[in-house]
Amino acid sequence: MSNLLNFKATNLRSALVLDYRLKQEGYDRGLGLKGMTQQVTFSPYVSPVLEYSSDINGGNPDKPLVLGSLTFYGDEEFFRKKGLLAGVAFGGTGRAIYGDGRYLDYNIGGSYTYSPEHDMSVMQGFANVCSKNDIGGNFYVDGCLSTNRLRRDLSAQTTSSATLSVAKLIAEGDRRVHQARFGIRRFFDDGYEQNQLTLQLDTLHNSNLFTSINVSLGDEVKNTLAMSHSFTASVGTYLMKKPFNASFSYVASDGGMLLGFQREETTTLFGLKYAIHPRFSLLVGYKYTSSNIDYFDESEAIVGVQFAPIQF
């Protein structure tokens, strides 16, 4: 394992960091330095939230729905509300080590945000647990369960998934380390279930650069709009000695039916994240959805501030 790490222990500080990282992943001896790591940990956290939302209430687009020769007009009371949300996020993360290179990662949390302009709140809760297992030969088998609940004034949605994946670490000398992963996922939404395949390649370069590419494929869900394929990519590095991340995603969905009309759409998202201060990062981006039914076309700017969590 240690032979695949990109950062060599060339001085005491880096040796201590590497020793700690190895022990955190269940390798009791680490580099052989003194000190033990806790086998079971849990760290509660809390952080403020400040963001702009184009759909605070989970409402409908502010335009008529046109289907062939039919035109439907919505009630203004159910139109989407836009504005700033402020609140708090809270939760906890932890790890339980149960063998060499084998551990359980878990986190649970939620958030509450409020819009004074519209006197509306948004509540979200989530839980994730992943079993990570080194099976030798730089191969890993991981099993993960996750669930997420989002509740707004006019809507509520729960999504869950169960994923089994196999990963392989591949080193290119001192230049870079790759982690290639293949997984199968069972995805659960309020109205449907779907099988998905995932392919992911993460690369740690020796120039303070991290890249990630992910491709997902979903099987057809009859009469339901569901993901058919998606592509995401991200790059992380340092800009003026501060963490910087750029991301892109493309999701194509099909199979939907609305009053006898087929529905298909694609969603494209660009995002930038820059740590302008050790305690908070600036988030900016743009999201565009194109549908074969104009009613569902939308574009929105993404602006927010992400605060570093306060851990206890």
Question: For residue 204, what pLDDT is reported?
Answer: 87
Q: Which of 144, 140, 142 is nearest to 127 (CA)?
A: 144
Q: Which of 231, 225, 227 is nearest to 252 (CA)?
A: 227
Question: For residue 217, what pLDDT is reported?
Answer: 98
pLDDT band, residue 29 (cuts 50/70/90): low
Query: 23 versus 198: which is more confidently predicted?
Result: 198
Phi then psi for residue 72, to 5 deg, are -120, 135
Residues of the chain with CATH 2.40.160: 40-311
Region 298-306: mean pLDDT is 91
Residue 30, token pair as written in the block: 């680490």
Residue 4, token pair as written in the block: 């695949």
Query: 270 versus 39: which is more confidently predicted?
Result: 270
pLDDT band, residue 258 (cuts 50/70/90): very high
Average model confidence (pLDDT) across the chain: 89
> Which 8-state DSSP code applies to residue 309?
P
pLDDT reading at 20 higher than 70: no
Phi then psi for residue 293, to 5 deg, are -110, 110
pLDDT band, residue 172 (cuts 50/70/90): confident
Question: For residue 3, what pLDDT is reported?
Answer: 42
- pLDDT digit string (tens) for 80-91? 999 999 999 999
Other CB atoms within a 10 A radius of the CB of residue 291 amount to: 17
Residues in the chain: 312
- pLDDT digit string (tens) for 107-144? 999 999 999 999 999 999 999 999 999 898 989 999 99
What span, in angstroms and rounded, lies between the C-alpha atoms of 229 and 233?
A: 14
Task: Supply the pTM of this predicted model.
Answer: 0.86
Sorted by sequence, the CB contacts under 8 Å of residue 27 that are 6+ apart come out as: 1, 100, 101
Buried b (16+ CB within 10 A) or exposed e, 231-247: ebebebeeeeeeebbbb
Q: Which of 304, 210, 227 is nearest to 264 (CA)?
A: 227
Question: For residue 54, what pLDDT is reported?
Answer: 92
pLDDT band, residue 174 (cuts 50/70/90): confident
pLDDT band, residue 97 (cuts 50/70/90): confident
What span, in angstroms and rounded, lies between the C-alpha atoms of 171 and 179?
A: 9
What span, in angstroms and rounded, lies between the C-alpha atoms of 276 and 215?
A: 31
Sorted by sequence, the CB contacts under 8 Å of residue 250 that are 6+ apart come out as: 230, 231, 232, 266, 267, 268, 269
What span, in angstroms and rounded, lies between the C-alpha atoms of 144 and 185?
A: 9
> Which 8-state DSSP code applies to residue 76?
G
Q: Are 272 and 287 in contact (CB under 8 A)?
A: no
- pLDDT digit string (tens) for 35-51? 566 788 899 999 999 99
What is the residue type of 98? Y
3-class DSSP state of 73: coil
Q: What are the DSSP calls for 181-198, one per residue?
A: EEEEEEEE-SS-EEEEEE
CATH of segment(s) 40-311? 2.40.160
Segment among 75-89, 162-176, 228-242 with least mean pLDDT? 162-176
Sorted by sequence, the CB contacts under 8 Å of residue 277 that are 6+ apart come out as: none
Task: Look at the alpha carbons of 25, 31, 37, 39 in this order and tell me if their dihedral is positive or negative.
Answer: positive
Sorted by sequence, the CB contacts under 8 Å of residue 103 that are 6+ apart come out as: 25, 26, 95, 96, 97, 131, 132
